[in-house]
């Protein structure tokens, strides 16, 4: 799951030299954030990116990036089945921060 978020950050941050990964403990949970400084996600796609077979990027100026649209769906399912939460904050043209939280005790 973390590797999927990191791989996506690399894939959607062409020509960028940094990705930030943060892990912290807060309120009985562990929170993981993966921040990139890449192309970002259009506002109208942000609420659908965890759906099965959804590909947020298909822009003529960047070509279609290879993806089946399953990685974020699978990550979301894993997090939810472990009673966690997953989300994304994105600013088109500036990058995205994907985050998930999992309870430390189940």
Which residues fall within 8 angstroms of residue 34, CB to CB, at 6 or more apart?
Answer: 2, 5, 6, 8, 9, 19, 20, 21, 97, 98, 99
Alpha helices in 12-106 (DSSP H): 71-81
- In whole angstroms, give the CA distance from residue 55 to residue 84: 23
pLDDT band of residue 14 (cuts 50, 70, 90) is confident
Mean pLDDT of 75-92: 97
- In whole angstroms, give the CA distance from residue 51 to residue 34: 19
**Residue 1 confidence (pLDDT):** 84
- In whole angstroms, give the CA distance from residue 3 to residue 19: 12
Domains defined along the chain, listed by start: 2-103 (3.30.565.10)
Q: What is the pLDDT of residues 25-73, one digit of tens each?
A: 999 999 999 999 999 999 999 999 999 998 876 544 555 455 778 999 9
């Amino acid at each position: 799951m973390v590797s999927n978020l990191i791989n996506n950050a690399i894939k959607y941050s062409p020509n960028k030299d940094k990705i930030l990964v943060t892990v912290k403990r807060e309120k009985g949970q562990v929170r993981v954030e993966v921040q990139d400084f890449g192309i970002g996600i259009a506002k109208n796609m942000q609420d659908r990116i965890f759906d099965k077979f959804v590909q947020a990027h298909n822009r003529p100026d960047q070509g279609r990036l290879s993806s089946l649209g399953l990685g974020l769906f699978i990550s979301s399912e894993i997090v939810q089945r472990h009673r966690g939460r997953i989300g994304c904050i994105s600013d088109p043209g500036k990058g995205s921060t994907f985050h998930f939280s999992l309870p430390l005790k189940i």
